[in-house]
Amino acid sequence: MAVPKQNADEIFKEFKEHSISEFFRRNAQMLGYSGKVRSLTTIVHEYLTNSADACEEAEMLPDIRVEIKELGENKYSVKVSDNGPGIPSKIAGKAFATVLAGTKFHRYKQQRGQQGIGAAGCTLYSKITTGKSVHLISGTSREKYECDITIDIKTNKPLIENMSKIDKDIVGTEIYGEFGDVKYENSDHGVYEYIKRTALSNPHMSIVLVDPQGSESVFLRATNELPKKAREIKPHPLGITTNDLLESAHRSESRKLGAFLQESLSRVTSGKVNELKEILKEIDFDSEPRELTWDAAEKLVKVFKEIKWMAPEMDSMSEIGEKQIEIAIRNILNPEFVKVTERKPKVFRGGIPFVVEAGIAYGGNSGKSKEVSARQKESSAEGEEAQQYSEGNILRFANKVPLLFDASNCAITEAAKGIDWKRYGISNFEEEPISVLVNVSSVYVPYSGVGKQAISQEDEIIDEIKLAIQDCARALQRHISGIKNQNLRETRYKQIMRYVNQLSGDLSDITGTKKEEIEKKLKELVEERFRISEGEEEKGSEDEGVSAKASDEDSGEESA
Amino acid sequence: MAVPKQNADEIFKEFKEHSISEFFRRNAQMLGYSGKVRSLTTIVHEYLTNSADACEEAEMLPDIRVEIKELGENKYSVKVSDNGPGIPSKIAGKAFATVLAGTKFHRYKQQRGQQGIGAAGCTLYSKITTGKSVHLISGTSREKYECDITIDIKTNKPLIENMSKIDKDIVGTEIYGEFGDVKYENSDHGVYEYIKRTALSNPHMSIVLVDPQGSESVFLRATNELPKKAREIKPHPLGITTNDLLESAHRSESRKLGAFLQESLSRVTSGKVNELKEILKEIDFDSEPRELTWDAAEKLVKVFKEIKWMAPEMDSMSEIGEKQIEIAIRNILNPEFVKVTERKPKVFRGGIPFVVEAGIAYGGNSGKSKEVSARQKESSAEGEEAQQYSEGNILRFANKVPLLFDASNCAITEAAKGIDWKRYGISNFEEEPISVLVNVSSVYVPYSGVGKQAISQEDEIIDEIKLAIQDCARALQRHISGIKNQNLRETRYKQIMRYVNQLSGDLSDITGTKKEEIEKKLKELVEERFRISEGEEEKGSEDEGVSAKASDEDSGEESA
């Protein structure tokens, strides 16, 4: 038997527990802090998200101001202020300096933030790149105060200093932080573009950006109507796992299992509980929920899937809206053609509702702009995140928040690339002047990473996005097919005619016939054959190409 | 002034702190638990990684046995046992049931695991999909015991039951768990392929896999030599951030700043400390390290970058080795051509050493196999992770661990796709029979996600991988250029000749000359022109194409 050179006690003597803050200190790239330009955008994104969610919660029209100043080489300050409800002083520390603390974590409700990582991540990044605290000023209906907040990385606890009351009549939240290893740049992944897209997908927001040169960009509120408020809903029986049900039962204050099921799940009526009782005679529906065992919960979940339920509540979602998406697309891309579609709400994982909106733009500035390509080259030379620019023609949103990074890992990209674009008259999706915009809204968006920049590639979500894009693509196909066929015909004709001249000379040498005569006859020959073959081709593509396959899809859609 | 409909106290009344376990319970996809096949591979990967690291630590040749049994629909048990040093009972609970606990977190040493998430993640996944504990049997040189371990998700603490001593003379660690929502499948992303690739990149391991059908696959040890032991090294002054230096100083037991720098950083001699003293007169190098301020640390880091240092220690890494990579490639792909290259160690982020090995295979089973495409279709129909199969011709490894998922997000994929393959005679990288294998070794691999399946796309790493692949690609280009030119010539010739017959008939009608005569002359004309143009083309590509650009790269390499 082999003898270990080091025994277990020696090997494990350094065994330690680490805080989540310590983990992200070492792996800040997982939170979106990789690359200087991206890191600055991540900071603005986190603060904006918090402001937008707080205002939405309080049912107010948000006025948000973002100020960025350059402090030194790759060092900037960021100040974000809003007119929202403010934040109570007793939880300010945790909100800004405890990773995984928040109100949003257990809620079954559509919100921009959902993890309780964002703002604390900013505080952490400020600390590890500048050693500084962030400064908070807040006014609620009960108190007005300011303080410095930083994070004790070892314990993931807040450290608050200089807490003091303010006499002025301030309202909302103003957060100020200083950050190193960041850079302001006017690129597709920069702060300006992020804010512009946020404003476009949230027309009820007013956002002012003051950039490091001091110039002010005002994104005016486009509507005074508050967006439909996203309701908090209960999970649907078809979307709950055994573990979810068990955890929920053990947390429950209901006294009986039957009542617990009605109170904690959507669509469970007393009639449905009776139906469950009939099937699951071995389970005591009068027992206490906190006594629920894994086995019983597993049986319940199994039977949930066997009986009929009303569909999940679908009014829990707040979309951007077809009209607003069209405005957004026209504003960003100035295209010659736009088509937007909103799908009906669907569910994934059995019972989590989500809804997809999509739009296609063609012409104008759609597709990869030359500007981007030029910048791509430049930043590649600078050794900075060149690979980030490769998805220029897919504009991604989740719960109305623009996603600017990790495109290749995202369900939206996967869906857009999985479409057989040739069928819709686009022979090269990457190169042609086409852009696709997609927004996925849900009470729970399954992000693929902690940085929340890509939607996990779940088949049900990908399929639904594809159907939305295809719907727009069919309209696009009708729009461009005429122009395109014309162009194609002309190009081919020119190509062939180029040879006729040269060939006529060669043939004249061989045959002794006059070059002019041969050229004339050859031209006639080509023109005639060209007309015949073009006619055939068009007819062919009409019959077996686009329309047949498109209707396949349509029928697939119905049965899905 | 707008008045919030809900005030801050109401909005934040549900404010709560959550444990890291709770976070991953909700977002298991971030740990690699998305898709049934992938989830099972993730479990085997985590346990194998732990066994391999423990044996390497104890300097033993690993004998590892993996047994997988089907327990029900999408329910399997996994048992992994090794002959390693075992694990002390007092830390067993934390090792298997506390996320972010481990020995590896702060070490500056090449290891497979580096986060302290893996095994606890398995325990968590077992609990949330089956409600069960995992069962541990372990024998160290001091004790033999067994117990059941599960995780208290709310607190991220272990719950241990049925701890009992064992009388038998057992050695090593055996872990047994039951898991739901998993599936055993013989695919490129399945357990068999994962173990096969692990065995190939770790020839000193012996691994036995017993699959759910009960059939046993034995991957024999290919060498009795232990791999070069990866040494724990100190960080290099050029690779340390202000925050790292500060945290390290505050943890330090050194009494003076000067001594601390020598003890905790690599390449800092007393001479270098004197040099620092000369430049930084305002810093007291006799002060206590725990008194170090952010400002002073920042100044130190700034000056580190201005003075000369010996290069980082490079013997800290343990590679697969050129010979073994060639064996691996021949075994997996049975190609007609293989070229492997090992680069010299380099650093990223200023001072973190890493080394890249790469190989190219051409012909045989290289490239996307038909089998994979067929399976892709099938699994797409089943609604399961079809998109995972899209990178069939890039085999990725980090610290000798095969990476099977998240290919699109990885520096290796980015590098391989960023190569101008046409220059090396490959006109379509996706479609041709070519495979690329890359292994990146480092004391700190910057993974892009918590699931450790992709390497963050940092430019220095991408560039180095590109250079390694290009080195192999030049040899490939020499190998295939002859065959290829020949094929190309033949194809073109055939294409043109096809027209000659048809054209001759048409021309005969026009000119009155005999068809046979025209055909003969046309053929001569084509053959002559064809020879001239082919000759020119070859010459052209020789002069301005491959060699010139290749030498550009070479010179770039030198100056990098």
Residue of A nearest to B4 (CA): A58
Helix H or strand E segment including B168: none
Contacts of B243 in chain A (CB under 8 A): 25, 127-129, 131
The residue written with tokens 């695919």 in the block is B187
- Give the residue from B15, B125, B499, B527 with the most A CB atoms within 10 Å of its CB, the best one to mutate: B15
Residue A461 has pLDDT above 90, yes or no: yes
pLDDT at B480: 82
- The answer to whether B27 faces chain A, any CB pair under 8 Å, is yes
- Which candidate from A5, A94, A243 shows the least CB-CB separation from B58? A5
Predicted model pTM: 0.78
CB contact under 8 A, A241 and B128: yes
Pick the CATH number of A322-476 from 3.10.20.740, 3.40.50.620, 3.40.50.2020, 3.30.230.10: 3.30.230.10
pLDDT in tens, B377-397: 333 333 333 333 334 689 999
Residue B389: its pLDDT value, please? 33
Tell me, yes or no, if A419 comes closer than 8 A to chain B by beta carbon: no
Question: What percentage of chain A's residues is helix, strand, coil (to nearest 5)?
Answer: 45, 20, 35
Does the pLDDT at position B549 exceed 70? no
Chain A residue numbers touching B384 (CB-CB < 8 A): 459
pLDDT at B250 over 80: yes
Selection from A151-160, A538-547, B64-73 with the highest mean pLDDT:
B64-73
Q: What is the pLDDT of residue A495?
A: 65
Partner-chain contact B101 A18, CB within 8 Å: yes
When pLDDT is cut at 50, 70 and 90, the band that residue A32 belongs to is: confident
Fold of B322-477: Ribosomal Protein S5; domain 2 (3.30.230)
Residues of chain B in contact with residue A300, where contact means CB-CB under 8 angstroms, are none
B16 and chain A in contact, CB less than 8 A = yes
Q: What are the tens digits of pLDDT across the range A340-353?
A: 999 988 888 877 88
| pLDDT > 50? residue A551 | no
* A367 vs B: CB within 8 A: no
Q: Smallest CA–CA separation between A383 and chain B, in Å?
A: 6
**Does B137 contact A at CB distance below 8 Å?**
no
**Given its phi and psi angles, is residue A349 left (phi above 0), alpha (psi -120 to 50 degrees) or beta?**
left
Chain B CB within 8 Å of residue A20 CB: yes
**Interatomic CA distance for residues B78 and A395, integer angstroms:** 42
Per-residue pLDDT of B432-470, as tens digits, reads 899 999 999 998 899 888 888 899 988 999 999 999 999
Q: Which of B12, B27, B29 has the CB atom closest to A103's CB atom?
A: B12
In the CATH hierarchy, which top-level class contains the domain B237-304? mainly alpha
**Region B531-538 average pLDDT:** 49
Q: What Cα–Cα distance (Å) separates residue A530 from each residue in A492, A496, B217, B367?
A: 9, 9, 62, 40
Q: Do A26 and B105 count as a contact with CB atoms less than 8 A apart?
A: yes
Would you place residue B488 in the very low, low, confident or very high pLDDT band (cuts 50, 70, 90)? Answer: low
B468: phi then psi, degrees, rounded to nearest 5: -65, -45
CB–CB contact B100 A25 (8 Å): no
C-beta atoms of B15 and A385 within 8 A:
no
pLDDT above 70: percentage of residues in chain B? 83
| Contact indicator for A66, A195 with CB cutoff of 8 Å | yes
Beta-carbon separation of A4 and B98 below 8 A: no
Q: Check CB contact of B381 with chain A, cutoff 8 Å.
A: no
Q: What is the pLDDT of residue A350?
A: 77
Give B394's strand partners.
B436
- pLDDT, mean of residues B78-96: 93
> Taking CB atoms and an 8 Å cutoff, what residues of chain A touch B448?
29-30, 34, 449
Residue reference for tokens 């012996």: B206
In the block, which residue shows the tokens 């063609």? Answer: A362
Beta-bridged to residue A157, according to DSSP, are A152
> Chain B within 8 Å of A458 (Cβ-Cβ)?
yes
CB neighbours (10 Å) of residue A354?
Answer: 29
CA distance B167 to chain A (A): 17
Q: Chain A: residue nearest B126 by CA?
A: A243
| Other beta carbons within 10 Å of A2 | 15
Q: What's the pLDDT band for A115 if we cut at 50, 70, 90? A: low
CB distance A16–B101 less than 8 Å? yes
CA–CA distance, B127 with B199 (Å, rounded to integer): 30
Q: What is the mean pLDDT of residues A259-281?
A: 94
Residue type, A261: L
Query: Is A497 a residue whose pLDDT tops 90?
Result: no
Sorting pLDDT into bands at 50, 70 and 90, what band is B528?
low
A12, A128, A154, A376: best mutation site toward chain B, by most B Cβ within 10 Å?
A12
**What's the average model confidence in pLDDT over A207-224?**
92
Picking from A139, A91, A144, A143, the residue whose alpha carbon sits closest to that of residue A119 is: A91
For A146-160, A348-362, A524-538, B370-384, which range has the lowest pLDDT when averaged over its residues?
B370-384
pLDDT at A81: 97
Q: Where does residue A367 fall: left (phi above 0), alpha (psi -120 to 50 degrees), or beta otherwise?
A: left
Arithmetic mean of pLDDT over chain A: 83
Tokens in use for A455? Answer: 């939607």
Instruction: Spell out the domain ranges in chain A.
Output: 20-219, 237-304, 322-476, 479-559
Strand partners, A398: A401, A440
- How far is the C-alpha of B312 from the C-alpha of B234, rounded, in Å? 9
Q: pLDDT at position A530, please?
A: 58
What's the gap in Å between the CA of A459 and the closest CA on chain B? 6
CB under 8 Å to A491, separation ≥6 — which residues? none
Give the CATH number of domain A20-219; options: 3.20.20.70, 3.40.50.2020, 3.30.565.10, 3.40.640.10: 3.30.565.10
Q: Is the pLDDT of residue A180 over 80?
A: yes
Distances (CA, A) of B134 to B43, B97, B156: 12, 9, 16
pLDDT given at position B115 = 67
B511 and A CB contact within 8 Å: yes
pLDDT at B376: 38
CB of B419 within 8 A of CB of B473? yes
Alpha-carbon distance A453 to A430, whole Å? Answer: 21
Chain A interface includes B383 (CB < 8 A): yes
| Residue B537 pLDDT level (bands cut at 50, 70, 90) | very low
Specify the pLDDT at position B544.
Answer: 34
Tell me if domain A20-219 and domain A322-476 are identical in fold. Answer: no
Which pLDDT belongs to residue A104? Answer: 65
Share of chain A above pLDDT 90, in %: 46
What does the block give as tokens for A91? 């939880």
* Model pLDDT, residue A332: 76
Q: Please indicate whether, in this complex, the C-beta atoms of A8 and B448 are within 8 angstroms of each other.
A: no
Give the least confident one: A146-155, A397-406, B326-335, B380-389.
B380-389
- What whole-number distance in Å separates Cα of residue A203 and Cα of residue B220? 64
Average pLDDT over residues B10-18: 75
Residue A545: what pLDDT?
A: 32
* AA identity, residue A253: E
| Strand partners of residue A352 | A348
> Tokens 């070492």 identify what position?
A26
Q: How far apart are CA B403 and CA A490, in angstroms?
A: 50
Per-residue pLDDT reduced to its tens digit, A426-455: 988 888 899 999 999 998 899 888 888 899
Query: Interface pTM (ipTM) of the complex?
Result: 0.75
